[in-house]
Every structure is written in C-alpha cells, then in structure tokens.
C-alpha cells in the first residue's frame, strides 16, 4: 500500500481541491472538497491542512479557486484578483514561508505571460499547482529511495513529530524511507513520540503509518530514552523546518533531546531534508530564531487545565540540533555524510547538472 494522499486536485478547471481534514484525525478520516478560496483560507488557518509543503500546495490551489470564475474578457479584473488572492491566502498563516513562496510562484507565472489569454492563464495556474504536487512527490520519493537501504529487515526506527505524508502531498520526508522499506517487503516497526504539546506524533504519524499497515507504537516523549536503552531502536529519522549550511537544523521541539539520546545509546540519527529546506546562507543553527508559542498549548492542550493558574510556562515550538549529533542527512539529491559543511556545499554546487 502507498501512503494516503493529503491533498490533490480532482478534475479540470471546474474541479475541486480535495484534502484530508487533519483536525478530525485520528478520530475520523474525512475529505474536504474545497471549491472556493474562502474555504481554502479557512482550511489553512484552522490547520485542516498543515505541514510546510502541503500548505504551499493548498495555497497554489487556493489561487486557482480564487480566479477561475473571472470573466475571460476582463484582463485587469483577473490580474487584480490574482494579487488579491495572494495577499488573502498569505494572511491565513503569516509565518508560513511556503505559503508566500507558493502564492508568489503563481503571481510570477501570470506576470511572465502577458501574451496568454485570461482563460489560458487559468489553465496554466492549475497546471502549476498540479506540478507542485508532482514535484513534492518526486522529492519525497527520492528521499525515500535513498533512505530505504539504511533500514534493515526487522528494524525498529523512532521518529518525532510528523514529517510524514500528512505534511506533504503524500509521501512525507522522514516517513518516505519507511514507506519504501515497507513496500519493499522489509519488516519495519516505528516508535512514534507523541510529541507534546500538540501531539502530532500520536495523532498524525501513528495514524498515517497505520493506514499503510506499518506497525507503529506510540510512546510519550520521555520514554524515548528507555526504548533506546533497552536496545529497541535501530535508527532515528526526523524532518527539518530549516537546516543551516553546516548541518545544524531546526525541527519540532524535542528533536534535540532525541538526538542527544541517540548519540548516547549508539543509535544512528538521520535527518530527511529536501534541499528546499536547506538555507546555505545560514552558516550555523545559532542564527535560527526559535518561535515561542502561546502557553495555553501546554497548560490547556487537552481541553482541561493541567498547570496551576499563575504558573509560568515556556513553550518554544522548535529546537536547534547541532550537526555533531547527526549521522547523515538524506536529501532528494543524495545522502550527505560528515563533514556536512563540505558535503552540503558540494551538493549545491553540482545542482545544475544533477537535476532529477
């Protein structure tokens, strides 16, 4: 079985954007057929669709929905609608980089083609949105193919948070090697850290692995040390929100702790990183800002207050893991081993000649 599709476009210009409403997981698998840009804005805002690549695709599809009913003979109105839709969609989650990257890509497409009719531009926008799905699948599948040989038959691997199919169009980054190993007939079992405060590991990673039939065991974050000490884990794989040129990387809070434990207990620690997540202008992870989120995620994360009123709460959403804890970085263009600075630079230098 292949992973569930998180988001796809069904049909032609009069079609729908179909996405899994992730707010209902793990209780219910319900697809949302989005037919207008307001519904897409709401879906992004309310985290019905989440994860950087998936948000980008959702925004691109939102752009198509926003302009498909524009009059074919009113070019000015169409161009204004494109601009309005981009600004509107960007406002759904202002801090999501992939959101503005995707809407800019659609705006740029329109600007680059003054020769095309409004109707032709609508179709080109739809093609572009679909191309983004294909590109995402190609990148994730390449990471999967490259990472798969690292997994041995009978292994248990541990992952943190959700860098899975639900964060991308379908395959995920950290989960892609696992799906490929499973598809290749290897027996692979996964420990999923529940990932406080928002429980993406328990709610999302466990769910999507279960859908495909990969055996998965959920643990609370503080049990990772025990399963490693007991020799139950043969590899760790995580995603990244942003990696620096030296291999330091930001990821969901708790990743640093898992990395330290993996080193201590001799477990290989891999980062699945599309080259689009690697920022070669950043010399090290020290420059990556850590977003602090509202304390209620910790104190009222489950609809019931679990911290006394008046007690302070610290809630950093990410941490930065220094590259010394990383065994290897799995990109769609190759696996990079230490020294990472040299390896990553070589990867980017040969980019033009190594396009997939």
Query: What angle, rounded to 10 degrees, do the helices at 97-111 and 52-67 form?
Result: 40
Instruction: Tokens for 301, please give them.
Output: 């994360």
Other CB atoms within 10 Å distance of the CB of residue 18: 17
Residue 222 makes contact with its own copies by CB under 8 A: yes
Q: What value, to the nearest 5°, has the Cα angle with vertex 142 and ends 283 and 180?
A: 125
Residue 259 CB, nearest approach to its own copies (Å): 8
Residue 261 makes contact with its own copies by CB under 8 A: yes
Q: How far apart are CA 22 and CA 207, in angstroms?
A: 10
Identify the sign of the CA torsion 147, 169, 241, 206.
negative
Q: Which is nearer to its own copies, 41 or 191 (CB)?
A: 191
Under DSSP, the state recorded for 218 is: E
Phi, psi of 239 (to 5 degrees): -95, -170
Residue 53 makes contact with its own copies by CB under 8 A: no
Instruction: Among 219, 279, 334, 335, indicate the residue that binds its own copies (CB under 8 A).
Output: 219
Residue 229 CB, nearest approach to its own copies (Å): 6
Residue 215 makes contact with its own copies by CB under 8 A: yes
Cα 173 to Cα 176, 177, 179, 238, 310: the distances in Å are 5, 8, 10, 8, 40
Instruction: Among 20, 64, 224, 237, indicate the residue that binds its own copies (CB under 8 A).
Output: 224
Other CB atoms within 10 Å distance of the CB of residue 223: 14
Q: How far apart are CA 60 and CA 46, in angstroms?
A: 17
Q: Determine which one of 136, 221, 241, 248 is catalytic.
A: 241
Residue 86 makes contact with its own copies by CB under 8 A: no
Instruction: Among 121, 254, 269, 340, indicate the residue that binds its own copies (CB under 8 A).
Output: 254
Residue 226 CB, nearest approach to its own copies (Å): 5
Q: How far apart are CA 112 and CA 105, in angstroms?
A: 10
Residue 175 makes contact with its own copies by CB under 8 A: no
Question: Coil, strand or helix: which one is 316?
Answer: strand
Footprint on residues 294-323 left by its own copies (CB under 8 A): 298-299, 301-316, 319
Residue 317 CB, nearest approach to its own copies (Å): 10
Residue 291 CB, nearest approach to its own copies (Å): 12
Cα 158 to Cα 233, 293, 334: the distances in Å are 7, 26, 22
Is residue 241 annotated as a catalytic residue, yes or no? yes
Residue 104 makes contact with its own copies by CB under 8 A: no
Residue 45 CB, nearest approach to its own copies (Å): 22
Residue linked to tokens 């040989």? 149
Provide the binding-site residues for its own copies, judged by CB under 8 A. 25-27, 160, 191, 193-197, 199, 202-203, 206-207, 210, 215-227, 229, 253-254, 256-257, 260-261, 263-264, 290, 298-299, 301-316, 319
Give catalytic residues, as residue numbers: 241
């Amino acid at each position: 079985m292949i992973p569930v599709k998180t988001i796809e476009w069904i049909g032609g210009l009069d079609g729908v954007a179909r996405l899994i409403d992730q707010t209902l997981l793990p209780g219910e698998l319900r697809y949302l057929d989005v037919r207008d840009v307001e519904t897409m804005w709401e879906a992004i805002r309310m985290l019905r669709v989440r994860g950087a690549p998936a948000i980008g695709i959702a925004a691109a599809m939102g752009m198509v929905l926003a302009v498909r009913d524009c009059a074919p003979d009113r070019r000015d109105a169409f161009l204004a609608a494109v601009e309005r839709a981009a600004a509107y969609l960007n406002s759904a989650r202002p801090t999501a980089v992939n959101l503005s990257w995707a809407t800019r890509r659609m705006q740029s497409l329109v600007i680059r083609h003054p020769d095309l009719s409004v109707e032709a531009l609508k179709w080109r926008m739809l093609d572009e949105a679909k191309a983004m799905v294909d590109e995402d699948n190609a990148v994730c599948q390449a990471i999967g193919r490259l990472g798969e040989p690292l997994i041995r038959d009978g292994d248990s691997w541990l992952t943190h948070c959700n860098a899975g199919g639900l964060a991308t169009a379908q395959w995920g980054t950290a989960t892609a090697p696992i799906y490929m190993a499973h598809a290749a007939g290897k027996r692979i079992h996964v420990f999923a850290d529940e990932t406080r405060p928002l429980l993406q590991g328990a709610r999302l990673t466990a769910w999507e692995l279960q859908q495909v039939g990969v055996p998965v065991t959920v643990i609370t974050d503080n049990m990772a040390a025990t399963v490693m000490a007991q020799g139950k884990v043969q590899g760790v794989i995580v995603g990244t929100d942003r990696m620096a040129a030296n291999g330091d990387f930001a990821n969901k809070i708790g990743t640093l702790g898992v990395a330290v434990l993996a080193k201590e207990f001799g477990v290989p620690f891999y980062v699945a990183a599309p080259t689009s997540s690697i920022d070669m202008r950043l010399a090290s992870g020290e420059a990556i800002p850590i977003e602090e989120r509202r304390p209620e995620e910790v104190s009222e994360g489950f609809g019931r207050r679990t911290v006394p009123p008046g007690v302070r709460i610290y809630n950093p959403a990410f941490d930065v893991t220094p590259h010394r804890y990383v065994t290897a970085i799995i990109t769609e263009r190759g696996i990079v081993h230490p020294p990472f600075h040299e390896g990553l630079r070589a990867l980017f230098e040969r980019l033009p000649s190594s396009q997939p």
